Amino acid sequence: MGNCLSMNKHFEGRYEVELKYRLTSRVQFLALLANKNPEVMHEDNLEHDTYFDLPDASLANQNKSVCIREIQPSGIMLWIVKGPEADRCEAVNINHVGKARSMLNTMGYHQVLEVKKLRSIYFIGKFHLTVDTFEGLGEFAELAIMTEDESKLEIYRQELLSLASELGLFAEQLETRSYRELIHELEGDRL
């Protein structure tokens, strides 16, 4: 069982193929997952994500995001950059969340969103799976793989679709919007 993302090959690469599904039954999904004897990285950790952008929203306009993530109780802290391509994702371990946030503020970035979720991470072979719970938003499973090899993205996408089917996940549950988009929609509905 790993306790640090930097020590785990599952999280290395510039590209990430990720399929996100809205769960109809977390219990049923976890039972099917358990049948595959996954390796457990951690279960039910609280992830606190702080998203940043420039005042003119230039990152969002370029389909990019910058996020500082703190995971407790595991103690993992990450700087994550996604985009502009849907499969582009890079993350690096950091040692001090407060200083990273301060550095972004010094460079002119400001906080645009704060997200907290309960997350469990599992490994099945070369793939990593996350099970996320958001208050007010629901429960989700993400099946993913990171790679440096852009030529393998479509092959991995097909393999993940096959794995999803084995885990009882179907096309109508597929969620293509980011958590950030889903939260903005939810907040917009409350206004």
Active site residues per annotation? 51
Pairing relationship of beta strands 138-147 and 127-134 according to DSSP bridges: antiparallel
Residues 6+ positions from 148 with CB-CB distance below 8 Å: 12, 13, 14, 15
Rounded distance, CA 23 to CA 20, Å? 9
